[in-house]
Amino acid sequence: MLGGRDGDGVALAMRVIVGQARISDAPRLVEITSAHVDSCLYHGQVSLDFAHRLVDLGARVRVPTTLNVGSMDLIHPALVRDQELAAAGRELMAAYVDLGCTPTFTCAPYQLPNRPGLGEHIAWAESNAIVFANSVLGARTDRYGDFLDVCAAITGRAPYAGLQTSEARQGTVVFDCRALGDFLHSELAYPLLGHHIGSVVGAGIPVLVGIPAEVTEDDLKALGAAAASAGGVALFHAVGITPEAPREFAELPVREVDLDTLLRVRRELSTTGELDAVSVGTPHASYAECLRLAELLKDGPPLKVPFYLSTNRHTRERLKGAELDVLENAGVTVVVDTCTYVTAILSPDWKNVMTNSGKWAHYAPGNINVSAVLGSLAECVASARAGRVVFE
Amino acid sequence: MIIRGRTLHPGTATGEPIRLTAPLSFWGGTDEHGRIVDAHHPQCGAVLTGRILMMESGRGSSSASSVLAEQIRARTAPAAIILTRPDPIIPLGALVAAELYNLDLPVVLAPYDAIPDNARLHVSATPTEATITWTTA
């Protein structure tokens, strides 16, 4: 492939893969079964230059490849205020579809059918998708940056390094969460816990003890997303829950997590007490989360502030003719294909935004210049109805 | 003085160092002008453009390689990056900028504790060897 047998596009992709293999000391490459490409989010001229170079050189993906969020909601194009960004975002998303990628445009590809299974080698980008695939599904992907993801899809190969190897998947530090007790039965525990462990371990591999058996995939999504954005967590183990969690971990250092710590994290991530808008669904809200939001909004007083829900187009299709009407009639703006903190959707006049996402609360202040407040989904609804921040 | 390290992406650069006290994600952590905008970062507001950036490793988002490559294209990137832990995402941005624009931002793995803050650094990274030399004012 390097020599150009499969065309110049494949050769370029292979140069990137081999270059990355050298950087990560990989002894060889490994064949992958799927890819998730994050490079379709517009970050400037370089994004288009790279995609167009691949298209012009005739490259195509050779494994099933999903696409991460873009900079544009293709179903509701008017939502993106910045026309220049919208046009570039649309052009970039189209270029990746031209390369043979499936137009899923979601940061939560694990909510789609045909997700990878235990032990499968994959090449996924997007930090929350990486940590979910590794931890909850037991598939194997290293932390791949933009560009590498699509090059892996085009070559069908990734460096055999990092979390592709068994040795690198062992836990490094235990977080004993048992003191949290009943708080672990609340959804709010998971973004807070994720942010805390991410801040503490950096790129280490946390082993969580005390996570209740009834924990949902949405809870683990929130935990992983916050841990990946606050630190560099690409894999965690939840003892008794996730497929590769160890049974023996007596030799690892132990850190206790108590309620005071998590309440402090909530205060750190909540930098305002005022409320101009609400944004939920980062990573993209699952079908179950959309149903729960519809249930919360079905009856009751109207929303006093703008309310945004980010989800994927696959989930929106499932909600059509039923809960989607409930959500939209209640005044919720449903955003697909992108997310409110990666593109220009929220009004620049809104400075105080409530979210149920640790990841959103972490990134939105830097990305779109807002102050965030972190609450549960129910608190977000109660606050939007009251027109001010309401904690339970 | 000289420090030897490992090349993660080749190139040469000269400039003044900026030592980060916490890891940084280029995406969400820096803007298109090379300024640190991560409100949680202790050095928020500092400008990295043209500096020899010294940090333990990158952090967080996988989009960091795009943001770095775009900064290299727009000439707002650091002059060189020195890491103490291998980070695949940062050299990837440098690799793609080299493929597309023939611009090389050296990325080096080296212990940088001995480098004084008032030094003027020269980074020279070939595919096989990297050296960091400096003079102090």
DSSP 8-state class, residue A42: -
pLDDT digits 0-9 by tens, A327-374: 999 999 999 999 999 899 999 999 999 999 999 999 898 889 999 999
Among candidates B16, B43, B9, B14, which has minimal Cα distance to B29? B43
Q: Tens of pLDDT along A43-82?
A: 999 999 999 999 999 999 999 999 999 999 999 999 999 9
CB-count exposure of residue A118 (10 Å: 0-12, 13-18, 19+): exposed
Our CA-based measurement puts residue A147 at a distance from the nearest CA of chain B, in whole angstroms, of 8
Enter the tokens of residue A172.
């490094």
Which residues of chain A does B57 touch, with a Cβ-Cβ cutoff of 8 Å?
202-203, 232
* Chain B from 55 to 114: CB within 8 A of any A CB: 57-67, 69-70, 72-74, 85-86, 88-89, 91-93, 95-97, 99-100
Whether A211 has a pLDDT exceeding 60, the answer reads: yes
Domains in chain B, number? 1
What is the assigned CATH class of domain A8-167? alpha beta
Which CATH number does the domain housing residue B38 bear? 3.50.30.10
Q: Which residues of A touch B (CB under 8 A)?
A: 12, 15-16, 19-20, 23-25, 38-39, 41, 43-47, 49-50, 53, 125-127, 130, 142-149, 162, 202-203, 228-232, 271, 362-363, 365-367
Domain A271-386: assigned CATH number: 3.30.499.10
Contact assessment for residue A8 and residue A14, using Cβ atoms and an 8 Å cutoff: no
Among the partner-chain residues B28, B40, B59, the one whose CB lies closest to the CB of A232 is B59
The total number of residues shown for chain B amounts to: 137
CB-based contact A38 B63, cutoff 8 Å? yes
**Per-residue pLDDT at A202:** 80
CA A245 distance to own-chain centroid? 22
Q: For B89, which of A15, A143, A229 is closest by C-beta distance?
A: A143
Nearest CB to A16; choose among B32, B89, B95: B95
Give the domain range for residue B18: 2-136
Reported ipTM: the value is 0.92
**Residue A176: predicted pLDDT:** 98
Whether a cis peptide bond, with omega within 30° of 0, leads into B23 is no
Task: Tell me what pLDDT residue A232 has.
Answer: 83
Token pair listed for A11: 């050769």
Is the pLDDT assigned to residue A128 strictly greater than 90? yes
Question: B88 CA to chain A: closest CA distance, Å?
Answer: 7
Chain B nearest-CA residue for A21: B88
Mean pLDDT of B56-84: 90
DSSP letter at A138 equals: -
Listed by start position, the domains of chain A span: 8-167, 170-267, 271-386
| pLDDT score, position A5 | 94
**In the prediction, which pLDDT does A63 show?**
98
Q: Indicate whether this model's pTM tops 0.80.
A: yes
pLDDT at B1: 85
Smallest CA–CA distance, residue A122 to chain B, in Å, is 15
Q: What is the pLDDT of residue B60?
A: 55
Contact with chain A for residue B124, Cβ under 8 A: no
Residue A126: name the closest of A372, A375, A342, A270 by CA. A342
Question: Hey, of B30, B61, B107, which one would you mutate to test binding to chain A, going by the most A CBs within 10 A of its CB?
Answer: B61
Query: What residues of B are in contact with residue A15 (Cβ under 8 Å)?
Result: 99
| Strand (E) or helix (H) holding A316 | helix A313-319
Cβ distance of B63 and A43 shorter than 8 Å: yes
Strand partners, A17: none
Q: How far is B92 from chain A (nearest CA, A)?
A: 7
What gap in Å lies between CA B105 and CA B130, rounded to an integer? 13
pLDDT single digits (tens) B82-112: 999 888 889 999 999 999 999 999 999 999 9
Of B72, B71, B79, the closest CA to residue B32 belongs to B71
Question: Looking at the annotation, which residues of B are catalytic?
Answer: 61
Q: Could you tell me if A348 and A277 are in contact, meaning their C-beta atoms sit under 8 angstroms apart?
A: no
* Residues β-bridged to residue B5: B130
H or E element at residue A208: strand A206-209
| pLDDT exceeds cutoff 80 at A306 | yes
CB-nearest to A367 from B28, B70, B85 is B28
